Structure formats: C-alpha cells, structure tokens
Amino acid sequence: MILPETQTQTLKDLINRIKYRDQVYEDWGMASKTNRGFGITALFAGASGTGKTMAANVIAQTLNLDLYRIDLSATVSKYIGETEKNLKQIFDAAESGGVVLLFDEADAIFGKRSPVNDSRDRYANLEVSYLLQRLETYNGLAILTTNLKESIDPAFLRRLQFVVRFPFPDEAQRRRIWQRVYPETVPTENLNFKKLAKLNVAGGNIRNIALNAAFKAAAAGTEVTMAHLLAATEGEFRKLEQPLPSQEVADWLTTEEPQQAITQAMFSLDGVDWEDAMITEEELAEWRRKEQAEIAELKRQEREGDF
C-alpha cells in the first residue's frame, strides 16, 4: 500500500497489538489492569478510493485471518430488536471463528444518537448503545470505515483504540501507485508515470483506469499504452459524471504516437476496419468537447430538477 509514514506505522502498531496480545495480557499480566475486552476496534476515515478497504484486507492477510465484511443493509432492520439480534449473531460467529469484522461505510450504523422525539428515535439510539457495549466486550478485531468521520457518534470515537486517516494521495504517491498498478506479466509500452501522476485522482480510480485500459489493450491485441490509459480515463470521468481535466492529461499523447493507436484505444472493438475508423486530431478534440458539454448539461438538469 502507498501511504504516508505516519499512517503506515499506525497500521503496523495495530497488527502488533493483535500479534502480541497474548504475551502482553497473559504472560506479562496486563489483563489484570483492564475491565474491558481484549479486542481492538479501529476506524479508517478518508475519501472514497483512498485505500481503507484495501488496508483492512492487507491486515487480515498479514494476520492470516479471514475478513468478514458486514452487509449493513441486511443487518439493520426496521423491526424493534431485530438489529440487535442480527448484530449479536455476527459478533458471536466472529469470536468463535476468529475473523476480522469490517463495517464498511460505518456511519450508517454508528451514527450520532439523535434527540428522542418518538419511539423510533428511542430504539435507534438503543441500537447504537448496544453496538458500543458489544464492541467493548468483543475479543477480536473490528474495523470500521467511513467517508464522514464527523458523523460518527462521539461516544463511539472515545472507545476506539486506533483512528487512521487516509489522505488523498499527492503527486509523488500517485506516481508510486501507477508504478505498481500493473504486475510484470502485463505487457506495457512507453508508460510515462510522471505524466500519469499529474492526474489528480485517488488510488481506487487509478486501479479502475488501469484495469479498463488493460481490457482495451487486450481487445486491440496490443500492449497497454498511454492511449489506452487516456481512453480509460475518459471513461472513468464519464462514469463519475465529471468533466475530464484536460490540463492534467494534455501531454499524455505525443505527436509521434500513431493516430491508429489512439483510435483503437478509444473504440477497442473487434471487427473494425481501422483504416475507415481513423479520425483526425480535430475530430478527436471535437468528440471530447461534445462529451464534456453533455456531462455539463446532465449536471445542470440534475441541479434544476429536470430528472
């Protein structure tokens, strides 16, 4: 994983807390100094795509434990008492099976308790209280991830042993991510990691772009090139309904790069007569301009409630 040294060291400390728990609590007698459970609860906070879920997977693999990702939609119930019952089954199974619990987007269930205005509020607060109590007695490792740390209940934050903030990667970190995104078995040609790192996106987006570019190259029967990565980047921003930051990708393609490679990377379809499909640089620029205009129009309609 590509993280700043502070966050990397915190993750190592978390792993060591589990690895040497028996030695410290049992052999050294520290268990007599605490009346809480011996488990660990950690919060991973950061924007989408910054590596929170990946870090949980890495920790589980390092500890040789299975990672159990909690489906909150199936856990939370509108019926009184059902949510607590579901959570009890999850914690009991996790303790007996020795797994790492991952509550993804935990703010949905560990949110701040609200003022009690009706019975629904009262039972919702009881659910949070039950979670706080159960986590204190849980003897395993529970990891929670959130994009909105401020929405987590303060009473819960006080009970955390670790809080790791996953920052948005800077240019140097993005360059390292790009350099490691492809295994050696993937054929590539003339990838410029310095230029790629200028694209201001999170690691999750980089992985999406790299994977889509690999499929485009496979369909075209070529190595992965900057042209494939540019086409995949345009697709990623189209998916996010955001305009492509042209200034960040302006120098990805050189004038020496064959125009046929650009066309193939854009379409990547079998059975296409590439001689007929060739487009000029002016046509390519016009295609991109129309695409960004369509995205802007969709956003305008969404703001004005036309959908």
Given a cut of 80, is residue 267 above it in pLDDT? Answer: no
pLDDT at 207: 95
pLDDT interval class at 25 (50, 70, 90): confident
Can you tell me the distance from the alpha carbon of 191 to that of 188, in angstroms, rounded to the nearest whole number? 7
pLDDT at 91: 84
- Sequence-ordered list of residues with C-beta below 8 angstroms from that of 31, at least 6 positions apart, any chain: 25, 38
- The mean of the pLDDT values for the chain is 80
Give, as one character, the DSSP assignment of residue 50. Answer: S
Residue environment code for 203-240, b if the CB has 16+ CB neighbours within 10 A, otherwise e? bbbbebbbebbbebbeebebbbbbbbbbbbbbbbbeee
pLDDT at 131: 76
Structure tokens at 53: 């879920």
pLDDT at 44: 92
Find the DSSP H helices in the chain. Answer: 5-19, 21-22, 52-62, 72-75, 82-97, 119-137, 154-157, 171-180, 193-196, 203-220, 226-239, 246-249, 259-267, 274-277, 281-304
pTM: 0.71
pLDDT at 215: 95
Contact 198, 248 (CB under 8 A): yes
pLDDT interval class at 130 (50, 70, 90): confident
Given a cut of 70, is residue 279 above it in pLDDT? Answer: no
pLDDT tens per residue across span 133-159: 787 788 889 998 888 777 676 767 777
pLDDT tens per residue across span 170-211: 999 999 999 999 999 999 999 999 999 999 999 999 999 999
pLDDT interval class at 269 (50, 70, 90): very low
pLDDT tens per residue across span 87-104: 888 888 887 777 899 988
- Sequence-ordered list of residues with C-beta below 8 angstroms from that of 236, at least 6 positions apart, any chain: 201, 205, 208, 209, 212
First-residue to last-residue Cα distance in the chain: 40
Given a cut of 50, is residue 72 above it in pLDDT? Answer: yes
Contact 168, 50 (CB under 8 A): yes
Can you tell me the distance from the alpha carbon of 119 to that of 110, in angstroms, rounded to the nearest whole number? 19
